[in-house]
Structure 1
Amino acid sequence: MSDDVPTNETPGPPRAARPHENPRTDPRTRLIDVRSPGEFDAVHIPGSRNVPLDLLRERRDELDRAHDDPVVLVCASGTRAERARALLESAGVHGCDVLPGGITAWEREGGEVNRGRGVWPMERQVRLVAGSLVLTGVLGSLVYRPLRWLAGFVGAGLTFAAISDTCAMARLLSLLPHNRGKTVDPDVALSALRDAEPVKPDA
């Protein structure tokens, strides 16, 4: 399941290094983490910059690339990063790579990470909320039968999410305070992707 909105471009095969290989072998490589600010604050690869996928969608018309540095896109599992790459390709920004398996595979295979406050990955949050709603519907229907439709509604939503490769629940969860993390300056964030000399974020 993904919180991604389909683009007109079909994602091609990822071209990044394998998770156990260091994507920073080339010192010019820019690691762009497209997860929510809260997820990024919880754990990220040292030296990576947070450019949330929602920001890429919102500022799609402003996406360009004034440099030839290698760009590697990162998310939790690789799904959102692939969608970000497809979005960038459709906006004319070509040649970005994706870290296969995302930060989950990177960490599992011994890659270095920085940790902050604990926020679950978005995929895990979606599973928790969806499962809780289904359980509430099933158990609640023993007392109030119409609640059984809650489980059916969630099931229909998950089916649609799988077919369309979108997830409205994840989009809504990303708006909650614990997922928003510290405020991301859009211009500073996008400079990490597009500018020849990226603007450094405030400490």
Structure 2
Amino acid sequence: MTTIDPRSARELIATGPDTLVVDVRTPGEFASAHLPGAINLPLDQVDAHLRRIVADAGGRMILVCQSGRRAAQCQAKLAAAGLADTAVLDGGMIAWTAADGPVVKGRKRWDLERQVRLVAGGIVLISVLASLLWPAAVFFAGLIGAGLTFAALRNSCLMGMLLARLPYNRVSAVPPIEDSLRRLAGAGR
């Protein structure tokens, strides 16, 4: 995996006119805050448009998400399809904002990872409390624990993918995927 630290990414963006910033977070997360000039291409849309992305991409691509995990998944998909000139922003938006990188801010929304922690924690808490009345309810907590363990081992999260499909995470103020793909094609020329 090729990564780039926030300081080097800023320099590359400032000096490389063919450098494209691709944010793979949900439209809701993107609308909340993103790098100036970034294109929103949610990770859950990459597989459906992979051939077009690889064909249209040109120049250096910096992949961004909240922490770097989803961007690394996207980079692996792009590399497997033949697109090699990509780098993951090391530490994602968390590191970018900590390094005082410029950010376009919108209405504040919870990032997907925080939503997963809320839902998983809520299910575990409710299951444990419910088990005081119905002992079998504790198995729901065990299922969530097993799911989180599997997600960590596979470096993917089914709960996160499901939450990404909620209307809250699909903001109409963010350009649709076709607009992002057109911008990607235009930047590659």
TM-score between the two structures when normalised by the length of structure 2: 0.90
SS of residue matched to 2:83: coil
Which contiguous aligned blocks of 4+ residues in structure 1 show a shift greater than 6 angstroms? Answer: none
Determine the structure 2 residue equivalent to 1:166.
156
Determine the structure 2 residue equivalent to 1:112.
102
Counterpart CA distance in 1 for 2:165 and 2:111 is: 14
Determine the structure 1 residue equivalent to 2:40.
50
| Range with greater deviation from structure 2 (144-153 or 179-188) | 179-188
| Range with greater deviation from structure 2 (38-47 or 188-197) | 188-197
Counterpart CA distance in 2 for 1:81 and 1:67 is: 16
For these two proteins, the number of residue pairs brought into alignment is 185
8 Å CA contact 1:74, 1:102 repeated in 2: yes
Determine the structure 2 residue equivalent to 1:149.
139
8 Å CA contact 2:18, 2:58 repeated in 1: no
Q: Is the helix fraction higher in 1 or 2?
A: 2
Determine the structure 1 residue equivalent to 2:177.
186
- Aligned counterpart for 1:102 among listed residues 87, 92, 113: 92
Counterpart CA distance in 1 for 2:57 and 2:169 is: 31
Counterpart CA distance in 1 for 2:46 and 2:152 is: 22
Deviations 1:81-101 (A, max 9, x none): 111111111111221111111
Residues 109, 142 of structure 1: alpha-carbon distance in 2 compared, 3 angstrom cutoff: same
Q: Name the aligned partner's letter for residue 134 of structure 2.
A: Y
Unaligned runs of 5+ in 2: none
Residues 67, 90 of structure 1: alpha-carbon distance in 2 compared, 3 angstrom cutoff: closer
Determine the structure 2 residue equivalent to 1:73.
63
Determine the structure 1 residue equivalent to 2:116.
126
8 Å CA contact 2:57, 2:184 repeated in 1: no
Unaligned runs of 5+ in 1: 1-11, 199-203
- The answer to whether structure 1 residue 89 and structure 2 residue 79 are counterparts is yes
Report the aligned-residue RMSD.
1.8
8 Å CA contact 1:32, 1:192 repeated in 2: no
Deviations 1:139-168 (A, max 9, x none): 111112121111011111111111111211
Determine the structure 2 residue equivalent to 1:13.
2
Counterpart CA distance in 1 for 2:132 and 2:187 is: 61
Counterpart CA distance in 2 for 1:67 and 1:136 is: 46
Counterpart CA distance in 2 for 1:76 and 1:13 is: 17
Deviation at 1:196, TM superposition (A): 4.8
8 Å CA contact 1:37, 1:179 repeated in 2: yes
TM-score between the two structures when normalised by the length of structure 1: 0.84
8 Å CA contact 2:59, 2:85 repeated in 1: no
